[in-house]
Chain A
Amino acid sequence: MHGHTAFGRAALLVLLLAAAVVGGCATRPTDPEELTIYREINDPFEPMNRAVFWFNDKLDIVLLRPVAIGYRKVVPGGVRAGIGNFLDNLESPVILMNDLLQGEWQQAQDTVGRFMANTILGLGGVIDIASGAGIPKHSEDFGQTLAVWGVESGPYLVLPVIGPSSFRDGVGLAVDSVADPFGPLAWGNDEQEAVVARWALDTVDWRADNIETIDDLRRSSLDFYAAIRSAYRQRRAAVINNGNGGPGGPDGADFDALPVIEFDFPDDGPDDPANQDTDDATPR
Chain B
Amino acid sequence: MRHHGNALTRRGLLGGLVMLAIVTAAPALASKPAGQFIETLGRTAIRELAEDGITQTERERRFRALLTANFDLQRIARFVLGRYARRASREDLRRFASTYEDFMVLTYTRLFVSYAGESFRVTRDLSTPDSRYVIVKSEINLPGDGETIKLDWQILTEGGNAVVDLRVEGVSMAITQRDEFAAVLRKNDSSVPALVEALRRRIARLRSAQPAG
- Chain A interface (Cβ < 8 Å from any Cβ of B): 33-34, 37, 41, 77, 80-81, 84, 209, 212, 216, 219-223, 225-227, 229-231, 234-235, 237-239, 242, 255-256, 258, 260-261, 263, 265, 267-268, 271-274, 276-277, 279, 281, 283
- Distance between B173 CB and nearest chain A CB, rounded to angstroms: 10
Nearest to A209 among chain B residues (CB) is: B147
In this complex, the member of A77, A222, A238, A271 whose beta carbon has the largest number of chain B beta carbons within 10 angstroms is A222
- Distance between A121 CB and nearest chain B CB, rounded to angstroms: 19
Contact, CB under 8 Å: B131 / A219: no
Residues of chain A contacted by B175 (CB below 8 angstroms): 230, 234, 261
- Distance between B139 CB and nearest chain A CB, rounded to angstroms: 13
Contact, CB under 8 Å: A263 / B164: yes
Contact, CB under 8 Å: B206 / A263: no
Contact, CB under 8 Å: B180 / A234: no
- Distance between A269 CB and nearest chain B CB, rounded to angstroms: 10
- A80 and B183 contact, Cβ closer than 8 Å, known pairs A219-B206, A222-B199, A283-B94: no
Is B169 at the interface (CB under 8 A from chain A)? yes
Contact, CB under 8 Å: B107 / A227: no
Is B202 at the interface (CB under 8 A from chain A)? yes
Contact, CB under 8 Å: B86 / A258: no
Residues of chain B contacted by A216 (CB below 8 angstroms): 107, 110-111
Contact, CB under 8 Å: A235 / B179: no
11 A-B pairs in the complex with CB atoms less than 8 angstroms apart? A209-B145, A220-B106, A220-B202, A227-B179, A234-B171, A234-B172, A234-B175, A237-B170, A256-B124, A260-B133, A272-B78
Residues of chain A contacted by B85 (CB below 8 angstroms): 265, 268, 272
Residues of chain B contacted by A84 (CB below 8 angstroms): 145
Nearest to B209 among chain A residues (CB) is: A219
Nearest to A81 among chain B residues (CB) is: B145
A235 to B167, CA, bound (A): 10
Besides A231-B176, A273-B94, 15 more A-B contacts (Cβ < 8 Å) are A80-B145, A220-B206, A222-B195, A222-B198, A226-B182, A227-B176, A234-B175, A256-B124, A263-B156, A263-B174, A265-B85, A267-B86, A268-B78, A274-B78, A276-B74
